[in-house]
Amino acid sequence: MDPEALSAALLAVIVPLAEARRPGAGDALTAADFPVERPKNRDHGDWASNAALKLSKAIGVNPREFAAEVADALAQTEGIASVEVAGPGFINIRLDAAAAGALAKTIVEAGAAFGANRSQDGNTINLEFVSANPTGPMHIGHTRWAALGDAIARLLLASGATLVREFYINDAGAQMERFGRSVLAAIKGEPTPEDGYPGAYIDDLAARVKAAEPAILDLPDEEQVIVARDRGYEFQLGDLQASLEKFNVHFDVWFSERTLHAAGADGAPSLVDDAVDRLREQGHVFDDEGAVWVRTTDFGDDKDRVIRRSNGEYTYFAADAAYYLNKGDRGFAHKIYLLGADHHGYVHRLKALAGAAGDDPEKDIEVLIGQLVSVNGARLSKRAGNIIELDDLREWLGTDALRYSLARYPADSPLTLDPEILRKRTNDNPVFYVQYAHARTHNVARNAADSGVARDAFVPELLDHETESALLGALQEFPRLVAFAAELREPHRVARYLEELASLYHRWYDTCRVTPLGDEAVTDVHRTRLWLNDATGQVLRNGLDLLGVSAPERM
């Protein structure tokens, strides 16, 4: 019996009891109104509910008295061993061993699908993250958003959302011209321009551009800059994409900022031109001293924003507006932006933009701000000179350790990683601790096969040891945990859950044997425990996959 089934059982007994007290009181109730939780103290049972406390006032009854009525009725439900009332009206539920143990087989048979849920059904989401400038390598800040953004995407997809991972390529504007001049200067053997990009990576890009365009210096000066810019950009973007793929982060859409400024077919206005007209139609655009403004203060922004200057040039806000509207045009009702710690000013700006576009700023857009991350002892990149590169971190610490550690903490908390711990193969290293638990489940399964123990029998009532009850209770929580973490956009909840599950598994492993000792005969206890072992391995594997971390079978 899982938590959803228990909530349904509570609903079934509560509705008639509530109706008897106050007719009509149960009309609008659903199982979702009566969630159950695992009590911190396992002596209090397998599950607990505050249903009586929540409903007693509405039906005019003492909560403890009502809880006793609910407990008596619920105790008659198949699969429930006992129900007790505690404190002012809490209901503690204990399942019988067979009902609790049945979950092990359910998990094994569900496989990779266990944990998937439909809590995000109907949500169409555009999740934009990383979005590094294509003028240099990705640094440690991008690394954090890559790990978190991809984990959030995995959680939302596992919860039924329709979602794309999107990378916004900032390939328009003055930074691209500086980039082109920097690459061209390196091709010519000249010093980096005063406002240009330094670093050995520019020399590398220059060599690649020169090899691809051997006649570049024979071109007119203006064309030289354009070729150096565009071919250098092509190579640098490819490097960014390769770095992310090696980090196990895949993007469905690479959206070029240039497309926002390009004229449409047959002379149609650009997306930026169109954005100004569309915002004006919503009634939030005004003209002042030759400039075009958006009245974003109507939606909580600290000041109104210029979208087109008096000289006719568009501002960055114009591109933001065109990009936001384009996401809606592509069918995404909900937009999530993951931005770095230096982008706090964008929160009100983007929400105000959503309002000016006719959307609900509190519903249709989320702006998540990540805090800074550092690594003790990390050295600046030899290629870039002034940053810590993603590729260097990945090669130094490993993809699994880096991704797990970055996803293990809330995005809004500053983070310092300790490489000594992350490189250890001991239980002090959280990712090793979880991965080792998974590898141990496979080792147990291999030893079981060698001893003649197979999953050819399943007697769930035999899973009655206290460590088995605790382990099964944790396994039952996984689907709800996934849905909750998806709703809050908090992958760290999955990481902490996996560590708790690994701890419970190790405790069970130390107490309950799957393989017989010596000449002991193989029994249904061993066979049934193998189901529980394999179920735990499956959930550990599913959870690690949600974080983009591998689940090794041997360590």
Give percent of the chain with pLDDT exceeding 90. 87
Q: Mean pLDDT across the stretch 97-102? A: 91
Mean pLDDT value of segment 260-275: 90
Mean pLDDT of 331-354: 92
Give the up-direction half-sphere exposure of residue 222: CA atoms within 13 A in the CB hemisphere: 0
Contact assessment for residue 80 and residue 2, using Cβ atoms and an 8 Å cutoff: no
- pLDDT tops 80 at residue 386: no
Q: Give the pair of three-digit tokens for residue 304.
A: 């109104």
Whether 27 and 17 have beta carbons less than 8 Å apart is answered as no
Which has the closest alpha carbon to 463: 501, 511, 517? 511
In our burial notation (b when 16+ CB lie closer than 10 A, e otherwise), range 185-197 reads bbbeeeebeeebb
The predicted model gives 197-225 an average pLDDT of 96
Would you say residue 382 has pLDDT above 70?
Answer: no
Q: Alpha-carbon distance 516 to 526, whole Å?
A: 7
Q: Tens of pLDDT along 39-92?
A: 877 778 889 999 999 999 999 999 999 999 999 999 999 999 999 999 999 999
% the chain with pLDDT above 70 = 99
Whole-number pLDDT of residue 185: 98
Note the pLDDT of residue 309.
96
- Partnered with residue 374 across adjacent β-strands are 416
Alpha-carbon span 184 to 205, nearest angstrom: 10
Q: Would you state the pLDDT for residue 449?
A: 97
Alpha carbons 181 and 202: distance in angstroms, whole number: 11
The string of pLDDT tens digits covering residues 480-535 is 999 999 999 999 999 999 999 999 999 999 999 999 998 899 999 999 999 999 99
Could you give the angle at the alpha carbon of 338 between the alpha carbons of 263 and 253, nearest 5°? 45
| Average pLDDT value over all residues in the chain | 94
Region 343-358: what's the mean pLDDT? 92
According to DSSP, the residues that pair with 126 across neighbouring strands are: 164, 335
Name the one residue in this structure whose structure tokens are 């509910």. Answer: 49
Q: Residue 435: exposed, middle, or buried by beta-carbon count in 10 A (0-12, 13-18, 19+)?
A: buried
User: Cα–Cα distance between 497 and 143 in angstroms, integer?
Assistant: 23
**CA atoms of 297 and 288, how far apart (whole Å):** 15
Residue 134 pLDDT level (bands cut at 50, 70, 90): very high
Residue 267 above 90 pLDDT? no
Task: Tell whether the model's pLDDT for residue 437 goes beyond 90.
Answer: yes
| pLDDT attached to residue 211 | 98
Instruction: Report which DSSP code applies to 41.
Output: S
Q: Give whole-number Cα distances, 354 to 161, 274, 546, in Å.
A: 21, 16, 30
Q: By mean pLDDT, which of 7-21, 373-387, 439-453, 505-519 is the weakest?
A: 373-387
What residue ranges define each of the domains in the chain, with the CATH number in brackets? 3-95 (3.30.1360.70), 101-116+424-546 (1.10.730.10), 174-246 (no CATH)
Q: Once rounded to an integer, what is the mean pLDDT over residues 227-251? A: 98
Which one has a higher pLDDT value, 345 or 106? Answer: 106
pLDDT for the residue 4: 86
**Amino acid letter, 540:** L
Question: Given this model, what pLDDT does residue 342 score?
Answer: 80
Instruction: Look at residue 257 and tell me whether its pLDDT is greater than 90.
Output: yes
- pLDDT for res 498: 98
61/21 Cα distance (integer angstroms): 8
Q: How confident is the model at residue 372 (pLDDT cuts 50, 70, 90)?
A: confident
Q: What is the CA radius of gyration of the chain?
A: 29
At residue 460, the pLDDT reads 96
Alpha carbons 231 and 7: distance in angstroms, whole number: 60
